[in-house]
């Protein structure tokens, strides 16, 4: 299999008055064509930052400091604006998390579809545009007649979010990136959108990357899961392996707490401590202040993402390249 997207050593920050927020640091992973990848992590861990940096759609104060994002072998980050513009949406579409403010308040929904189509010189006449837009809106369970001629403020949050998904489907992109696609939706609509994504996965020739803090959704949809902690990618593995055998202590805690919810509430063991500050992140492994296995080296040097076995990747000193436990820490492993 070929990676359609390969992220190498991506580093992005936000400039704020107090300094720089290191929201994505040394992020590397591969996405295979037609696979589904979930990016999970707690709030403010840098999930949105990663996918926005990948598509060069960071907010005005965001900066990409280094790294590569290879799309079919070509680095997106070094493309000219015009080359990038042509790829955006037509080949790689990003549905943002900020669904509430992502539509032009003074333009009807139909005009958003129209602008998108015109930007990519797709030769549809007005009727075709209406037909295609209606088709996509129906896919996300919206009534085209009610939505197309409405202004954004006439739509509810969940409706806007689905309009964005419909917009993203319009040009049938190769890669569809969704940031919390179900967060503004009620349980029923949420289930429907997840169903839709499942169908998309089967039906279209499409690669899906989606961000979620709901690990259950990831379990349901994804082939692979990337776990983000404090702006770092700490584990990348197949969904099956992530759940069966979480490697990183943080992932382990995360999975355990989810499983406990399903099994026995009394066993819920939240991970102690607070999420790290990204303005002044902890030295070494960013998880070390909360990690029960922390060693001296963890405080000093940042662990690299290394491949263990069968493509499983983890950034933790408990592991050594090639799949062996570190001798010194073996006895610490209590799980």
Partner 1 sequence: MNYFINKTLYLLIVFAIAISGVFVLVNNMPGDPAYGLAVSIAQQRNMQIEQALEIAHKMMGIDPHESIFIRYGKFVSNLLKGNFGYSAFYNTSVNEIIAKSLPWSLFVISLATFLSFTIGIFLGAFAAQKRDTIIEGIISTVSSIIQAIPPFILAVLILFVFSVRLKVLPLGGAYPVDIEPSFSLEFISKIFLHALGPMLAIAIPQMASWTLSMRGNTSQIMEEDFIRFAEARGLRDSVIAAKYVRNNAMLPLVASLAISVGYMLGGQTLVESIFNYPGIGFYFGKAIAVRDFGLLTGLFTLIVIGVILATFIADFVYALIDPRVKLK
Ligand X SMILES: Nc1ncnc2c1ncn2[C@@H]1O[C@H](COP(=O)(O)OP(=O)(O)OP(=O)(O)O)[C@@H](O)[C@H]1O
316 binds ligand SF4 (CB under 6 A): yes
The stretch near ligand SF4 (CB under 6 A) out of 15-23, 68-76, 147-155, 281-289 is 281-289
d(CA 37, CA 56): 19
Shortest distance (Å) from residue 73 CB to ligand X: 27
24 binds ligand SF4 (CB under 6 A): no
Q: Which of residues 233-262 bind ligand SF4 (CB under 6 A)?
A: 248-249
Residue 12 parent element (H or E): strand 3-16
318 binds ligand SF4 (CB under 6 A): yes
Query: CB neighbours (10 Å) of residue 310?
Result: 9
Task: Please tell me the number of Cα atoms within 13 Å of 120 on its side-chain side.
Answer: 21
The stretch near partner 1 (CB under 8 A) out of 29-37, 55-63, 309-317, 322-330 is 55-63
Pick what 316 binds: Mg ion, ligand SF4, partner 1, none; C-beta below 5 to 8 Å, kind-dependent: ligand SF4
Sign of the alpha-carbon dihedral angle for 244, 200, 102, 232: positive
48 binds Mg ion (CB under 5 A): yes
293 binds ligand SF4 (CB under 6 A): yes
d(CA 125, CA 151): 22
d(CA 39, CA 34): 16
116 binds Mg ion (CB under 5 A): no
Nearer to partner 1, 42 or 91 (CB): 91
Shortest distance (Å) from residue 241 CB to partner 1: 32
d(CA 239, CA 237): 6
SS3 state of residue 90? coil
d(CA 300, CA 308): 22
Residues that bind ligand X (CB under 6 A): 14, 16, 21, 23, 41, 43-49, 59, 61, 97, 213, 278
Q: 216 vs 212, 213, 219, 220, CA distance in Å?
A: 9, 9, 5, 6
109 binds ligand SF4 (CB under 6 A): no
229 binds ligand SF4 (CB under 6 A): no
Shortest distance (Å) from residue 48 CB to partner 1: 12
Helix axes 157-169, 187-203, angle to 10 degrees: 10
The residue within the footprint of ligand SF4, chosen from 291, 305, 308, 312 (CB under 6 A), is: 291
Provide the binding-site residues for ligand SF4, judged by CB under 6 A.
248-249, 285, 287-288, 291, 293-295, 298, 303, 316-318
């Amino acid at each position: 299999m070929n990676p359609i997207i390969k992220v190498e050593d991506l580093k992005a920050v936000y400039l704020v008055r107090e300094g720089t927020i290191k929201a994505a640091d040394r992020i590397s992973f591969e996405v295979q064509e037609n696979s589904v990848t979930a990016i999970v992590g707690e709030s403010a861990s840098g999930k949105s930052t990663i996918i926005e940096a990948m598509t060069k759609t960071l907010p005005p104060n965001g900066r990409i400091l280094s790294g590569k994002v290879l799309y079919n072998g070509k680095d997106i980050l070094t493309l000219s604006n015009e080359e990038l513009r042509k790829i955006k949406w037509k080949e790689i579409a990003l549905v943002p998390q900020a669904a509430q403010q992502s539509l032009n308040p003074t333009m009807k929904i139909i005009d958003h579809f129209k602008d998108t189509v015109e930007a990519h010189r797709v030769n549809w006449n007005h009727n075709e545009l209406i037909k295609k837009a209606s088709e996509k809106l129906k896919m996300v369970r919206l009534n085209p007649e009610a939505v197309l001629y409405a202004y954004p403020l006439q739509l509810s949050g969940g409706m806007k979010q689905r309009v964005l998904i419909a917009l993203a489907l319009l040009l049938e992109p190769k890669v569809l990136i969704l940031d919390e696609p179900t967060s503004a939706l009620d349980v029923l609509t949420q289930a429907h959108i997840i169903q839709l994504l499942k169908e998309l996965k089967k039906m279209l020739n499409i690669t899906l990357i989606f961000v979620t803090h709901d690990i259950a959704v990831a379990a349901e949809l994804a082939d692979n899961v990337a776990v983000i902690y404090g702006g770092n990618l700490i584990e990348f593995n197949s969904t099956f392996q992530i759940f069966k055998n979480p490697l990183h202590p943080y992932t382990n805690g995360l999975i355990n707490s989810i499983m406990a919810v399903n099994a026995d509430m009394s066993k819920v063991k939240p991970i102690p401590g607070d999420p790290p500050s990204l303005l002044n992140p902890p030295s070494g492994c960013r998880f070390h202040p909360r990690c029960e296995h922390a060693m001296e080296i963890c405080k000093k040097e940042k662990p690299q993402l290394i491949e263990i076995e069968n493509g499983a990747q983890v950034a933790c000193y408990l592991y050594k390249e090639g799949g062996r436990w570190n001798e010194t820490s073996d006895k610490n492993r209590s799980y």
